[in-house]
Chains A and B, each alone.
Chain A
């Protein structure tokens, strides 16, 4: 190929910047986690002390388990509901345009707006519970938001609400992109609609699935804003996530070293799941 250096030159600046940004910061953060930084970064080496403190912290354990619960519910819920909605809308509905806009618009809202609105709706005294009681069902109770064990599910509900529409759009595009002839052939063979979906269409969505999973996981990691707006980590610290833990420690409590250690642990966990997946998916292509 002529001028093989030109393409490399073109992508070089932005790649270098982006990679420096990502890996440089991860490294800097890692260094901070080995330092004695408190209010402001300082570079005094402190060994693994911050990690020791981290694992003694009960609050961090809660944050980790929340990340597992929330991550699974959010990603799983958004993907499942998004797929269901895409299949439903694929059925040649007349009002498809309107319905699609209705399912998609929540993505346009910032997490802060979503959190504020859902905080109100899920509030036992002012929101849903109050409303249903006013309608007559006096004994209805829905106080998940204030229950330390159940509050995390509320965050998952709001998160799925925000993102399912986007997943739907991605899957719908994927479904529409599948060659009609395959479907027609199957119908000629006498397969029923659910069978067609199950055996043919859903499996051919695999590449879409990959991109969608990347995007939804990105949103899960960003849900810092949503937690802050909806519960601010409460009740107590029952809905703390590693991202909010890190923010609190680094910025509110003058424990930058501890915050950096928690961020490193979080990244390591994410990498453990994501890297093998990235490897397998990108390998498969040609």
Chain B
């Protein structure tokens, strides 16, 4: 009799424990476009930690176009009342989505995990809408890098440039030595990545902020802008004619192989070098883009959190947010992606020299006010205007007969796009 009672009690206890756990377990649908080997591996670590807490991870990957297809799907899902728990959205788009009233308030998790102390203000501002957190940052990419192949430079007798004048000297030398001076991929965002580095280097951080972030019409039509545009167009002479449409990683491959000398690209290029077994400092060099050693163009990837109806899913969503800002994910993910943790005060021992330099500059430049958002990567300007400016810049790059003055007029018009 006693055994039956104790067994039944045991069963009831077990059942209670089970229902408790399953009541907590939620379903997480996460929209992203991390479909390549390295990124997927890092994201898989996040999935594993969610599963360890008992939640189910429904992967919702949509590759292509830096998120174009993913955004299409996301809009349809939100319109049909069926939003995912989290989606890979960044920059001003976060505020645009928040304005539509579909994002969740993450202040609970933020306070518990002390996000305000762990994030630089310039980053946490982007993650907030009207003072409340609506998204979680994942990493920090530095965009204004110049990657170079030291062997190619040696062959050409050129030295790594620190200003734009030196850049063209080195490019000439590389050209004479039969090396393609600049590896470039002719895509909208790549054209603009180069353009904004030129703007930062030629015009300086203040000009960059006024002209490209604030879209001040006077700056967009100024002589400095004209100089930026002509310098930018000069770079094209040092790229090869197959650049059009080339993916960025293929351009990086050219530098890795020594076919090209330099590439102006963000730090995800480093991931390619590392994956090819190259050692920073020896096989490849990372320096700030010419003229921008004291400035930092940042690109922060983040996940927007959508309003969910189911309580268990909301709990899962909170766990996800906490995990993303946690030290373990920050380290694993960024080691694989080539970026640096967005969480301040992390130990950088496992990171390579380029990352360490990036981390130091991030903090220093934040203090001195030369930490600027990247337009090419959607960090600064609403998507409509951003798209229009990118159109103009790419058109200028590709056109044979467009003068800098024409381009300036078009830029000013494009900047007004709502």
Contact = CB atoms under 8 A, between A and B. Distances in A.
Q: Are chains A and B touching in the complex at the 8 Å CB cutoff?
A: yes
Given A237-B395, A251-B71, A39 B100 contact: yes
Interface stretch (B72-80, B148-156, B169-177, B299-307): B72-80
A235 B68 contact: no
B351 interface: no
Interface residues of B, number: 37
Nearest to A42: B100
A40 B75 contact: yes
Interface in B98-112: 99-100, 102
Given A234-B186, A248-B387, A254-B384, A39 B245 contact: no
Interface in B240-267: 240-245
Interface in A91-149: 119, 123-126, 143, 145-146, 148
B383 interface: yes
A146 B241 contact: yes
Interface string A231-272: 110111110000000011101111100000000000000000
Given A39-B96, A40-B79, A248-B387, A236 B68 contact: no
A189 to B, nearest CB: 57
Contacts of B399: 148, 236
Contacts of A76: none
A254 B383 contact: yes
Interface in B58-93: 65, 68, 71-72, 75, 78-79, 93
A38 interface: yes
B168 interface: no
Interface string A56-70: 101100000000000
B384 A236 contact: no
A24 interface: no
Contact of B387 (A145, A238, A252): A252
B383 A252 contact: yes
A271 B196 CA distance: 43
Contacts of A235: 186, 244-245, 394, 398
Given A38-B384, A39-B100, A236-B398, A251 B79 contact: no
Contacts of A255: 383-384
A231 B382 contact: no
Chain A residues touching B, majority SS: loop
A47 interface: no
Interface size class of A (residues with CB under 8 A): 20 to 34
A263 to B, nearest CB: 14
B268 interface: no
A40 B75 CA distance: 7
B391 interface: yes
Contacts of B410: 58
A58 B78 CA distance: 31
A41 interface: yes
Contact of B242 (A146, A237, A252): A146
B56 interface: no
A265 B394 CA distance: 26
Best-buried of A145, A231, A238, A253 by chain B (most CB within 10 Å): A253
Contacts of A249: 387
Contacts of B241: 124, 143, 146
B97 A238 contact: no
A236 B96 contact: no
B132 interface: no
Contact of B391 (A40, A123, A231, A236): A236
B75 A234 contact: no
Contacts of B394: 234-237
A124 B241 CA distance: 8
A39 B96 CA distance: 7
B202 to A, nearest CB: 22
Nearest to B78: A40
Contacts of B78: 40
Contacts of B71: 251-252
Nearest to B101: A40
A238 B398 contact: yes
Contact of A124 (B99, B242, B391): B242
B239 to A, nearest CB: 11
B147 to A, nearest CB: 21
Interface string B359-382: 000000000000000000000001
Best-buried of B71, B96, B384 by chain A (most CB within 10 Å): B384
Contacts of A56: 413
Best-buried of A123, A148, A251, A255 by chain B (most CB within 10 Å): A251
Given A236-B391, A237-B394, A253 B245 contact: no
A232 B245 contact: yes
Interface of B: 65, 68, 71-72, 75, 78-79, 93, 96-97, 99-100, 102, 186-188, 240-245, 382-384, 386-387, 391, 394-395, 397-399, 410, 413, 417-418
Given A39-B97, A125-B242, 7 more contacts: A39-B75, A39-B93, A40-B102, A123-B245, A231-B245, A236-B391, A254-B96
Closest 4 CB pairs of A and B: A125-B242, A146-B244, A251-B72, A236-B394
18 contacts: A38-B384, A39-B93, A39-B97, A40-B78, A40-B102, A123-B245, A125-B240, A145-B244, A146-B241, A146-B244, A232-B65, A235-B186, A235-B245, A237-B391, A238-B398, A252-B383, A254-B382, A255-B383
